[in-house]
Structure 1
Amino acid sequence: MRVQGNKIMSQTTGQPVSLAGSSLFWSNAGWGGERYYSANVLGWLKNNWNATIVRAAMGVDEGGGYLENPAREKAKVKIVVDAAIAAGMYVIIDWHSHHAEQHQIEAIAFFKEMATTYGNSPNVIYEIYNEPLQVSWSGVIKPYANAVVAAIRAIDPDNLIVVGTPTWSQDVDVASADPIQGTNIAYTLHFYAATHKQSLRDKATTALSRGVALFVTEWGTCEASGNGFVDSASTQEWMNFMKANSISHCNWALNDKGEAASALVTGTSPMASWSDTFLTASGRLVKGYVQNWAGTVTPPTTGGTATKVEAESYHVMSGVLTQATSDTGGGLNVGWLDPGDWMAYTVNVPTAGTYTIQYRVASPYTGGQISLEQNSGATRLGVITVPNTGGWQNWTTITNTVTLNAGVQDIAIGVPVGRYNINWWSFTKAGTAARVASSPELQLYPNPVQNKLHLTLTQPGTAASLYVINAYGKPVQTLTLPASTSPEAAISVEGLEPGIYTLRVVEADRTTSTKFVKE
């Protein structure tokens, strides 16, 4: 990887690199986290989470750390680094200290040895200072960093080096105003979602605007103390920010300590592999992001009054697979859906009430079903039928209405009847503008349309009158459909000029209207 401007780039593709994975806990003897410094754990991270990076957080000056027993702590790091190289993962060798400037001689000796051993491996990243305290960048941290960087570069001229910044690696704006001279250097940004919000992202934006690259070597879903509540809404905002700026990240921490930041429940054996029952609330949330990061997946985003959730951003699932989609925006869709499959998402519903739910679907079959559920399927919020759209990548949006409680919660998509693909789903408070306007009862597809518009009638068995109305409110097409037992119908719109139209359908005692786009 090569730093170019404010991005970390792939040397082979020339494109920005954004890695996602986990940080191990302090390596210190007797602290508990050292149990997970194993090749077995690395294999599980890669195969189960699709992690592309891991961080070995070698404790330095605390009890049980490197200064107490250098050989023991180096051995733990080497187990992780060797396993990462074998697995084809990136690995951060982290000098995990809050006082590294007090141990500069020891740091230089350690990183000279690491550079000698691993300098020829492009997988290895050196993090030379985890979290400086509230000390001077130019007067304390930068002189230390210059000395350690020079020692590494005398042996390894090109592997990435990440440098800690003041105030627990938050003042990246301060560091960016007086950057280190050299090549392939990035700056550490740490955040904990329940504590750090927009003001810290503003600091990061300032640093990026000055042309330095950032690397989030540690972040948590909870408060900066490592405890408190799991703030999924703030986590989502941070994920959006890192995705938009191609920033790599490692979550704190793959450990079973009894605190909110831990990904594993207390007592989890290091002899993985672990099912999701061994993951904490934070672990389940983080797994969903790491597993689907891969440079192509956009986590749930909020825009306007509609919250859009990418189908593949589940934090846990059963039986489904993903594939590249040809739908607008690209990315992945979820497919291979069979009865009994499901996907679970953590969402934040702003207020209780009635919500319009939209699903972006495609199917060459009629009769698939989507069930919006809670409580492991015991509570069904609403069920909708997936129409035949004419192909696995012929996309349309279908809509129904459900009642949701307020707050952060797990909502699942269940599959009573399969044979369809889903790209995204969204929820909008009823009475506010949705991303795609449509009646909650009249389904149209494809939309936009070129030739033939398919619709699902709300009252099959009765005759229906259809009116196509242009943007000026003038009817431009009228026809009558005879009574039929099938809810499926179709009309030709090939002769219409491109633009936005309203389809009004009169069936017995009910009139429904839906907008569509003619391409």
Structure 2
Amino acid sequence: MKHISNLPNEKRGSIPEGIGLRKLGFLIIAILMIITQSSVFGQSCWLEASGTQIVNAETNQPVILRAVGLGNWALQEGYMLNPQGCTGCPGTQWQMKLQYLNEGQSMAQVEAFYQSWRDNFITKADIDYIASLGFNSVRLPMHYELFLSSAQRAVRNNVITDLNFGHDTYKNSLQNWHDNDQLFNDPNLEGYRVIDNLLSWCADNGMYVILDLHAAPGGQGSDKNIADIFHDNNLWQFPVFQDVTNRLWDRISARYINEPRIAFYDLINEPNNVPGGGQAIHALLQRLITTIRDNGDNHMIMVEGNGWGNNYDYLEPFTFSPNWGLVYNAHRYWIDPADDWVSDSNPNQINRMANLVAFRNNHQVPVWIGETGENTNEWLSQNIDKLDQEGIGWCHWTYKRHDVGANAALMRIGGSYPTDGASAMAGVLESIKFQNCIPNTNTIAAVTQDLPAPWTSGCTGGSTPPPSGCTGSFQSISAAIQAEAYCDMLGIQTETTSDTGGGQNVGWTDAGDWLGYRVDIPTAGDYTVEYRVASQNGGGSLQLEGLGGGSSYGTKAVSATGGWQTWQTISHTVTLPAGQQELGISVLAGGFNLNWFKITPVANGAPTGQTIWLRGSNNQYVSSENGQNPMMCNRGSVGGWEQFTVVATGDGKVALRGTNNLYVSSMNGTAAMLCDRPSIGGWEAFEWVSLGGNALALKGFNGQYVSSENGASGMMCNRATIGGWETFTWGSVSGSRMAEESNGLEATEESFLIYPNPAVDLFKIDLRNLDFHQGVMKVTDLSGKVILTEELVKEVTEIGLSPGMKAGVYVITVESGDLKISRRMLIER
């Protein structure tokens, strides 16, 4: 193939040197796009997660979302129906409906009342007022039933008068509607109408919207009050409700994928008393995250844990994939100020400030207070001060509710309560209107003392992000990506290739050309990128980058291969973020063809080629049992059976070979693990998941993690998330992995132990394997500042940590004469 840049200059007419004929059209189009975009898209409203902050995606400016919760609008909560209480007071919305039915109202009349309730409770006047107080966002608690058609909602309403047979009928109907794709498709459903109106009102005020699934199908716990629940925990007990929840978020995501005024999706509000705890919640949240990301939706996603959205056992950011764009929630009610900076013993329980800040910093993820309020004005004011000082956004619960006097909402609804029955329905519909509500001035003063918030950036003008030009699904990296399968490009042509596999290749590459691809990177880390190239004369080079001139991940030179159809594979190693993203291949110097490229994960931190030991969280070592019995994690020291050689399998994974020269098998999670396989297959390949320092987890072919079973029984590969039993530490048996060398002296990993790591209040240094009698230990932060110095005169020394030491990564260095050894340690607060 002849490259156009090799044509004589007289064949190029008057086009400036360096611009081929085929370039002119592309350049004109590109210039027009730039002019158009600069005039249409003056400001991007999109928000994204960046480290511990929520930021404007265009300017990278931190954005503190100060919101108001619109509770009781699209979903009534029992305590707000009559805060004074009454004999037989309804505790849920469906029980409120039942009272109206028992008082002679027809279901049609009840439904008409609730339609008017939604029409009157929140209007543009309410949103204008909230904006005037300085808030920049609102949180919309949604009831999934509003996304049902009227006929489907009628089937659900039948459960109100028949909790057993009616509920079974409803479950069966839901399954049928789901299986026949009859759910959430009508664009005029009430739920969509509510969201669309709210987005329009917020756009006029430069405000963001958080979509909160407050009442999930089946109910997300045993607290019936918050989610209009018929029977406890049905969401977790019946797969149909999870299927329906997934379908709902799929439809919401598809409808609002390009809506920048939506700050993020709050997938499930306040899971509580969940059977299976965090692991059950994780399984569903992972499914919802995958569904949303598979749509190509880049909105941030809020994760809520067990215990009313505060406990994140088995729900840490590293347990999700993809895990970019996550925001973590906490709900703060009635926390004693004296306890707020006293760490909870569980670092994953984050409603206290101490744990909230530590979780954010340790996991480098934004946190947001999805609900706070219902307290004294003094408490509200102090609470907001603490959050502001830490740069944490929050949402006041709630905007307005019924009461006889001033309350902790921003507005009070006077007059009759809904629980006063059918005779009061008309009066209630009038009293909830904005013009009839009464401001709670003291509450407003407590929560708006410093509004608008420092660092706040609103979304003005309802602008939409400029199109990237890329459309279509995100490609998996499990196979090579064909060069001609780009989603966007500049200056590229294709031709038939004679390379193995046939098809087409791209060519006619000049400096400034580029190709765009939508890819799904499963985890953040190092990847080997291979390029199938051909070049007549060489001298070319390319760069892998974020599409549009974003991050540069690495460059690679292209040498001569001997012809335009003489193919060679070249490669380099790059570090990529996780998630669905758009990558670009930019031509730095032209003169080559590209047939395909392939992205393969490098075993993350795995000590391939080394012989190691593995130790569980029970401080015992993993034993192969010589392949004769299930593997155990119950040995107090390292012998032959406790040694494994790490073997690269060639696909970014590793295998473990025992001293019996056989490989460890996951048994696909169906039985206890064995070290008895003569060769490496799928069950013998593991993903080495680095957790910092020398901590790791092993992920099997079945997508599950290896568990030590705490040494009580044979090890299994059947855990969905990483917890204590799924966390191991490793060290080199041969000493080939050096902690540090000084003057020729070597220290192996196992000769110097620090535990526990991570540490909270104290840690121990175990020097029993080192040949010296005394030394000095120093703790430094990552800037090199010495934080603590301690003389070591014992084989095992316990070191207390000052309460003033902040959470983070520190370096522990032990020195004695010519010996100097360093380790990293994580301190959690």
TM-score scaled to structure 1, two decimals? 0.49
TM-score scaled to structure 2, two decimals? 0.31
Larger radius of gyration: 2
Q: Flag the structure with higher strand content.
A: 1
